[in-house]
Amino acid sequence: MRELTVLADRAAVEQSVAELLVKEIIDVLAIRDECTIVLTGGTVGIGTLHAVARSPRCADVSWDRVRILWGDERYVPAGHTDRNDEQVDEALLRHVPVDSRKVLRFPSSDSGLSLETAAGEFTKMLVLEFPDGFHADVTLCGIGPDGHVASLFPGLDHGTGTVVAVHHSPKPPAERLSLTFEALNSSRKIWIVCAGTDKAEAVHRLMTDDAETTPAVHLKGLEETKVFADTSAASAL
């Protein structure tokens, strides 16, 4: 069951989700040795992580016990400002004491690997990290005006298994790596964050289960799937 929470504006979405994310990590680490989170880029996703870094409870998180990866990545050189991991580093990871060995980054285009080989290498790394099968506690996703999530766009092959190489993204850069829906849906909780009138039609299609045109409909967390939208993004409902 997909739940919708409507908040006043983008800042309210970012703050609310940041508080929930910090609480979830703390709660998981109270009963398990590690917590795995899947992060996203995008304006609201990065704004949410800025809010996490500012949270009074951020210091209560044992960040060295948090495994971090991304739902997708642009296949550009390491450190490039277009990379989701570089944006997340700037917003959050450079401000908290993470264990770099638990930050699982997609390969970059300057690795010398073809896109397909890079997808295979990252898949192998996930098998080593998750010998019982890939899973996450929380996955954060944005949603595009066309209804895409991660780099799973309408009309493109969404792949099988864990990782898909995306060769013809309609949104530049054209080459990307992405977790598949199978991988994303192995998360206990999936939270979709969005704001702005440009997302209104996509949110409407998502909430009315228009799977034909809106890939985001295929997101289904094992325990919950929630959409956090500001009033502008929810205005077509």
**pLDDT tens for each residue of 18-61:** 999 999 999 999 999 999 999 999 999 999 999 999 999 999 99
DSSP 58-104: GGGS-GGGEEEEESEEE-S-TT-TTSHHHHHHHHTGGGS---GGGEE
For residue 90, the tally of other CB atoms under 10 A from its CB is 15
Residue-level pLDDT at 18: 98
pLDDT at residue 1, rounded to an integer: 82
Query: CA separation (Å) from 126 to 17, 78, 100, 109, 201?
Result: 26, 19, 15, 19, 35
Q: Do residues 92 and 58 touch, judged by C-beta distance below 8 A?
A: no
DSSP string, 118-176: HHHHHHHHHHHH-TT---EEEEEE---TTS-BTTB-TTS---SSSEEEES--SSSSS-E
pLDDT in tens, 7-19: 999 999 999 999 9
Using one digit for the tens of pLDDT, what is the confidence trace for 179-237?
999 999 999 999 999 999 999 999 999 999 999 999 999 999 999 999 999 999 999 99
Q: Quick one: average pLDDT of 94-121?
A: 98
* pLDDT recorded at residue 132: 94
State the average pLDDT over residues 111-116.
96
> Phi and psi at residue 101, in whole multiples of 5°?
-70, -15
Task: Report d(CA 96, CA 61) in Å as an integer.
Answer: 9
pLDDT in tens, 19-28: 999 999 999 9
Q: Name the band, by pLDDT with cuts 50, 70 and 90, for residue 126.
A: very high
Q: Report the pLDDT value the prediction gives residue 237, as an integer from 0 to 100.
A: 96
Whether the pLDDT of residue 67 is over 90: the answer is yes
What pLDDT was estimated at residue 117? 98
The helix/strand count (H/E) of the chain reads as 6, 10
Q: Which residues are 77's β-sheet partners?
A: none
Q: Is a pLDDT exceeding 90 seen at residue 81? A: yes
What is d(CA 222, CA 16) in angstroms, rounded to the nearest whole number? 22
Q: CA-based Rg of the chain, rounded to a whole angstrom?
A: 17
